[in-house]
Amino acid sequence: MICPGCGSAGVRAVPEICADHASIRDGLADRLAQSPGAPSGFDRCLHFVEGMVMAGMGVALAYSGLDNHKPLYTIGGSLLAVLLFVGTIVVVRGEGRERAVVEAGESRTDALWRSAYYCCGCASVFCPGGTPWQGLLTPEQFKKFMWTEAGHGKQLEEQFKDVDLPPGILTGPGGTQDHA
pTM of the model: 0.68
pLDDT-derived band at 169 (thresholds 50, 70, 90) equals low
Diameter over CA atoms, the chain? 81
Q: How far is residue 123's CA from residue 142's CA, in Å, rounded to a whole number?
A: 11
Backbone torsions φ then ψ of 60, nearest 5 degrees: -65, -40
**pLDDT surpassing 90 at residue 51:** yes
What percent of the chain lies above the pLDDT cut of 90? 34
